[in-house]
């Protein structure tokens, strides 16, 4: 595959959106900013366009895509039905980083988008350029994150070009994305909300709207731990995407969790061990600890009690490790409240399940 990838700088966003929308309407695939991460968009009704998305990313065809809509009322043309809880959540969080998995209306989108499932994932993004792009292209836009499959999601246009230059028709630059992690993917069953993938909208925020139980399906966070029973795996809806390696840097990574004051000693020990065996070591840590560490690279993710800052910067830091030839990363864990839950989910995935808990 070798196509010319057009680049529209942020200063030419208006022209960029017009040209990008025309390209999508004509069957092209364009990367664009959302408030979470950059997406790689194509007409969700066009099988040829959706095929190009899968090919450009190297994405397994059994992993379905999220359909992005310009506004809430379009959801009824894609979903077979929407219940009260889903209505309340869309009302509360759209536009924004919440994706709902709904029963799909037959023929509403290309079957490749849903990977043959009887559901479709939908969201209304909050980013102004995303909204304009969907409106002007005149079609629902299927868009996975705009990275090569398995790599950290792109939070800057330059990340998209690193992975997909020559494989897609264009990139609309909107600067760094805000949230920095992907949307929360949920499936509502009756009055229960199953969080299939934690993300930009937190469990606490969802709970404040629906008031009743919010269930997190157990396989999502620690699927490699093998601790969940078969029964719970069968009962809880799953996202096909969670079984794939994700968000991973090229180097090996280990996550150290536990109380804040116990982290630093364990992190330094791990880093020293790896350095002694000739590895190129990076430490990803909170602002408070950064001055106390010694390593080839010390990358500050943000204040310990502001996980939204670490969420915003995580993927860029993982990519920086790759660029600097780092082959061993030791990362500090964060408290799992609020956006910290999504942050820890991505750190665990990036570490491929390697985690040491100190107490
Ligand atoms: O923030 C985001 O969600 C970004 C931006 C571009 O919108 N998109 C994104 O897409 O992260 P992607 O393809 O990287 O992740 C979509 C996730 C995958 O885990 C996929 O398996 C799941 O959503 N998904 C999509 N359709 C589904 C369905 N019908 N049922 C269950 N899970 C689904
Ligand atoms: Mg992705």
The model's pLDDT over 208-254, given as tens digits with 9 standing for 90+, comes to: 998 866 776 654 444 433 333 333 434 567 778 777 667 789 999 99
Atom of ligand 1 nearest to the CA of 114: 29
Per-residue pLDDT, averaged over 347-351, amounts to 95
- Which one of 42, 65, 339 would you pick to mutate in the ligand 1 pocket, going by the greatest count of ligand atoms within 8 A of its CB? 65
Cβ–ligand 1 distance for 114 under 6 Å, the answer yes
Q: For 52, phi and psi rounded to 5 degrees?
A: -65, -35
Structure-token pair, residue 88 = 């309340």
Contact indicator for 331, 255 with CB cutoff of 8 Å: yes
In order of their start, the domains of the chain are 1-241 (3.90.870.10), 252-357 (3.40.50.11030)
Q: In what order do the strands lie in the sheet with 328-332?
A: 297-302, 281-286, 328-332, 252-257, 355-357
Residue 21 has pLDDT above 80, yes or no: yes
Q: What pLDDT does 39 receive?
A: 98
- Nearest ligand to the C-alpha of residue 182? 1
Q: For 142, phi and psi rounded to 5 degrees?
A: -80, 125
Q: What pLDDT does 191 receive?
A: 83
pLDDT of 172-188, one tens digit each? 999 999 999 999 999 99
Q: For 192, phi and psi rounded to 5 degrees?
A: -100, 135
Residue 123 Cα to ligand 1 midpoint, Å, equals: 10
Residue 145 Cα to ligand 2 midpoint, Å, equals: 4
Residue 338 has pLDDT above 50, yes or no: yes
**pTM for the structure as a whole:** 0.94
- Nearest ligand to the C-alpha of residue 196? 1
pLDDT of 150-170, one tens digit each? 999 999 999 999 999 999 999
| Residues above pLDDT 90, as percent of the chain | 87
pLDDT of 282-300, one tens digit each? 999 999 999 999 999 999 9
Q: What pLDDT does 236 receive?
A: 62
């Amino acid at each position: 595959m070798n196509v010319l990838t057009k680049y529209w700088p942020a200063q030419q966003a208006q022209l960029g959106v017009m040209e990008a929308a025309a390209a999508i309407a004509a069957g092209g695939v364009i990367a664009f900013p959302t408030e979470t991460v950059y997406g790689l968009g194509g007409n969700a009704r066009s099988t040829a366009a959706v095929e190009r998305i899968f090919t450009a990313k190297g994405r397994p065809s059994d992993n379905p895509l999220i359909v992005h809509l310009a506004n809430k009322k379009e959801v009824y043309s894609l979903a077979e039905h929407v219940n009260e809880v889903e209505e309340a959540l869309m009302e509360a969080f759209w536009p924004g980083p919440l994706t709902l998995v709904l029963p799909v209306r037959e023929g509403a989108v290309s079957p490749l988008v849903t990977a043959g499932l009887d559901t479709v994932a939908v969201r209304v993004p909050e980013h102004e350029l995303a909204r304009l792009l969907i409106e002007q292209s005149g079609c629902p836009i299927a868009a996975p994150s705009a990275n090569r499959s398995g790599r950290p999601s792109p939070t800057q246009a330059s990340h998209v070009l690193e992975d997909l230059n020559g494989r897609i028709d264009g990139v609309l630059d909107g600067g760094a994305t805000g949230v920095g992690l992907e949307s929360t993917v949920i499936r509502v069953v009756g009055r229960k909300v199953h969080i299939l993938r934690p993300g930009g909208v937190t469990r606490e925020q969802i709970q404040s709207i629906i008031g009743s139980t919010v269930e997190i399906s157990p396989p999502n966070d620690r699927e490699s731990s093998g601790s969940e029973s078969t029964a719970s795996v069968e009962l809880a809806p799953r996202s096909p995407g969670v079984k794939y390696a994700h968000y991973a840097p090229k180097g090996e990574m280990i996550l150290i969790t536990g109380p804040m004051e116990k982290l630093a000693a364990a992190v330094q020990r791990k880093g020293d061990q790896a350095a002694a065996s000739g590895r190129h070591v990076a430490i990803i840590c909170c602002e408070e600890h950064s001055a106390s560490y010694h390593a080839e690279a010390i990358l500050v993710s943000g204040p310990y009690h502001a996980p939204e800052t670490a969420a915003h910067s995580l993927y860029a830091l993982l990519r920086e490790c790759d660029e600097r030839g780092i082959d061993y990363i030791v990362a500090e864990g964060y408290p799992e409240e609020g956006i910290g839950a999504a942050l820890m989910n991505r750190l665990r995935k990036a570490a491929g399940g390697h985690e040491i808990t100190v107490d």
